[in-house]
Structure 1
Amino acid sequence: MEIFTWLNTPIFELLGNPVPWSDFLGNICALATVFLALRRNILSWPVQILGSILLFSASVSAGLGGNASRQVVIIVAAIWGWSQWKRSREQTGEIQVRWATWKERILLVLALLVGTVAFGAVLSAGGWSWNPYPDAYIFVGSLVAMYAQGRAIVEFWFVWLAVDLVGIPLAIMGGLAFSGIVYFIFLIMVVVGIIDWAKRSRQTISSPIAQSQTVTGRPD
């Protein structure tokens, strides 16, 4: 298809690696998604969907099967998250943020660990990725982060932080140098997001009472 060919045509070189249009535009959308999520703007979800479509093309071209699969599932997850934020805004007039309960945190960590091992084994058995377990870790971590984001809990930023730390070297080794640099920018934005969302929630991690209630964040 002509559009696929154009999307994967290099626009420039970075660190000796060609950067295709799909990787460039997809990561611009990814940066916009994080910025909009930081502002608790519901447009973060459709922008994420567009970015995932573009990054799917880039990942297929780079031979990152796990990352390509991740984009497909991210689109589905983004549709769900979009509906959750839309419902929250309709009910309260804003997107409420909170800290997760300890039960939710444990479930998030278990999902990340078990999902990575299981999906990594699938990628390895099928020969669909040259680095299956880190690839699987990013795939599963992204889904866990998006679930937490859809629930509007502060911990989703910590999951993205963990994903970024693996995504930087994996993207560079896979020839997607621009993605690697964008992952580094994500690290900075994620730290800002953690601080901002934490301030917007009046809950405290250690308070049993706070863990059992939802607290309204400040309106933009």
Structure 2
Amino acid sequence: MNDTLTIAGLTTTPLELISFVLAAVTVILNIRQKHWAWLFSIVSSATYAAVFFDARLYGDMGLQFVFVAASIWGWYQWLHGSDHQPLVVTRLKSSHRVWALAAWLVGFVLLSTFLDNFTDTDVPHADGFLTAGSLVGQLLLARKKVENWHVWIAVDILYVGLYLYKGLVLTAVLYGVFVLLAIAGLRTWSALARERA
């Protein structure tokens, strides 16, 4: 699965290609609020963990295991909601936005410190920052908060640069596609939140 192959001039591996397809399906299903997105998320996270291990992106690798757990929780949330009421798309309260940003900052400091001191990664701060942001985005997505798309737009733009730097060109292309999908998700979910309001 680690043999190199070239598709449309991009060098990749079969495992990265499979991960690419699964991750794209996940986001498309998320925009449409289909709970099966979480199954695709679990599988793509597992395959991307191996891809990121090979690239020495240990924060991203570890994040994939957290994504598996968060996806199981998110799947449950989307199926059962809170107090057995279906979850609907809503916006965060102002105070919750502050908490989300604070969680991102604390996660960044902790993760980048760990990665810098205990791994051989050459990008501990970028890896830590984007890993922490991805965790925040995933938790907001699981609770159907519109702001998850703001987080994903920011994170995905920065991931494009990181993956190009690490030579994961197909994954960089995927994250460029994710930026466009996240913009579409933001528009769709914003409209749903306005209708509910």
Q: TM-score range by the shorter chain?
A: over 0.9
Please tell me the root mean square deviation across aligned C-alpha atoms, in Å: 1.9
Contact 1:142-1:163 at 8 Å conserved across structures: yes
**What residue identity is the alignment partner of 2:5?**
I
Total equivalences in the alignment: 197
Alignment-derived partner of residue 157 in structure 1? 149
**What residue identity is the alignment partner of 1:173?**
Y
* Gaps in structure 1 of 5+ consecutive residues: 1-6, 204-214
TM-score w.r.t. structure 2 length?
0.93
Alignment-derived partner of residue 121 in structure 1? 113
**What residue identity is the alignment partner of 2:44?**
G
**Residues 168-212 of structure 1, C-alpha deviations (whole Å, 9 max, x = no match):** 011111110000011111111111110100000137xxxxxxxxx
- For residues 90 and 178 of structure 1, do their structure 2 counterparts lie closer, same or farther at Cα, with a shift above 3 Å needed? farther
**Residues 64-102 of structure 1, C-alpha deviations (whole Å, 9 max, x = no match):** 11111111111111111111111129945x541001111
Contact 1:74-1:142 at 8 Å conserved across structures: no
Alignment-derived partner of residue 185 in structure 2? 193
Secondary structure of 2:81's counterpart equals helix
1:72 aligns with 2:65: yes
Alignment-derived partner of residue 97 in structure 1? 89
Q: How does 1:49-68 map to 2 (within 5 A)?
A: 49-68=42-61
Percent identity of paired positions between Structure 1 and Structure 2 = 26
1:22 aligns with 2:10: no
**Residues 79-133 of structure 1, C-alpha deviations (whole Å, 9 max, x = no match):** 11111111129945x5410011111111111111111111101000013421001
* Gaps in structure 2 of 5+ consecutive residues: none
Alignment-derived partner of residue 31 in structure 1? 24
Please tell me whether Structure 1 or Structure 2 has the larger radius of gyration of its CA atoms. Answer: 1
Secondary structure of 1:201's counterpart equals helix
- For residues 169 and 14 of structure 1, do their structure 2 counterparts lie closer, same or farther at Cα, with a shift above 3 Å needed? farther
TM-score w.r.t. structure 1 length?
0.84
Alignment-derived partner of residue 11 in structure 1? 5
Q: Distance in 2 between matches of 1:202 and 1:91?
A: 23
Contact 1:64-1:128 at 8 Å conserved across structures: no
Contact 1:63-1:129 at 8 Å conserved across structures: yes
**Residues 149-184 of structure 1, C-alpha deviations (whole Å, 9 max, x = no match):** 111110000111111121001111111000001111
Q: How does 1:173-212 map to 2 (within 5 A)?
A: 173-202=165-194
Q: Distance in 2 between matches of 1:127 and 1:21?
A: 26
Hey, which bits of structure 1, 4+ residues long, moved more than 6 A?
Answer: none
Greater mean deviation of Cα atoms: 164-173 or 82-91: 82-91
Which of 103, 106, 131 is the equivalent residue of 1:111?
103
